[in-house]
């Protein structure tokens, strides 16, 4: 897709194996983009605005987030129980290590409203159905049980 590297920080295969993707120290490319982030980044790169590039990145929903991908298309299939178990273990570790509050764990389709629009930013592109109708409730119940 033209990215520098895999977009996510973690990927969970349907057999439950957890793969480390992009380094956790590097901003991901998984949550969408905003017009404001891209326009400010362009202006900074062209020298029209004298700000550090991080000011543009702060307007991107990926900034400061950890991206976890579950392999599959859950509009058509269910997440496997081993995949969900691995997700639960991974989330427990990340919540503990980075002191993440449960309400900060957001599924992809909810990013648009909760992170982008609620912060007065403008999303780019179509809304996503991700993670899909056959996994949304199962994943949210894991988040609630953390």
Closest CB to Zn ion among 7 and 44? 7
Task: Quote the longest CA-to-CA distance of the chain.
Answer: 51
Tokens matching residue 94: 């990340």
Segment interacting with Zn ion, rule: CB under 5 A, options 48-56, 72-80, 82-90, 125-133:
125-133
What is the closest distance, in whole angstroms, from the C-beta atom of residue 75 to Zn ion in the complex? 11
* Residue with smaller CB distance to Zn ion, 56 or 70: 70
Q: Is 130 in the site for Zn ion (CB under 5 A)?
A: yes
Which CB atom, from 22 or from 108, has the smaller least distance to Zn ion? 108
Exposed e or buried b for every residue in 17-51, given b needs 16+ CB within 10 A? Answer: eeeebbeeeebbbbbbbbebbeebbeebeeeeeee
- Asked if 68 interacts with Zn ion (CB under 5 A), we say no
- Count of chain residues binding Zn ion (CB under 5 A): 2
**Considering only CA atoms, which of 79, 75, 132, 135 is closest in space to residue 109?**
132
Q: Give the residue with the Cβ less far from Zn ion, 13 or 49.
A: 13
Is residue 103 a contact partner of residue 112, using CB atoms and an 8 Å limit? no
Dist CA 129 CA 138 (whole Å): 15
- Of 16-24, 39-47, 51-59, 108-116: span binding Zn ion (CB under 5 A): 108-116
Residues β-bridged to residue 12:
18, 70
Q: Does 108 bind Zn ion (CB under 5 A)?
A: yes
| Footprint on this chain of Zn ion (rule: CB under 5 A) | 108, 130
């Amino acid at each position: 897709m033209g990215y520098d590297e895999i977009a996510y920080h973690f990927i969970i295969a349907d057999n439950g194996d957890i793969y480390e993707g992009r380094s956790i120290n590097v901003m991901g490319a998984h949550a969408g983009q905003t017009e404001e982030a891209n326009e400010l980044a362009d202006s900074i790169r062209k020298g029209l605005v004298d700000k550090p590039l991080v000011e543009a990145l702060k307007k991107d929903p990926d900034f400061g987030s950890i991206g976890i991908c579950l392999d599959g298309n859950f509009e058509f299939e269910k997440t496997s129980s081993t995949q969900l178990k691995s997700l639960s273990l991974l989330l427990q570790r990340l919540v503990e290590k980075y002191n993440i509050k449960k309400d900060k764990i957001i599924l992809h389709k909810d990013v648009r409203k909760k992170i982008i629009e609620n912060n007065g930013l403008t999303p780019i592109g179509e809304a996503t159905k991700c993670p899909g109708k056959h996994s949304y409730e199962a994943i949210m119940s894991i988040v609630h049980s953390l």
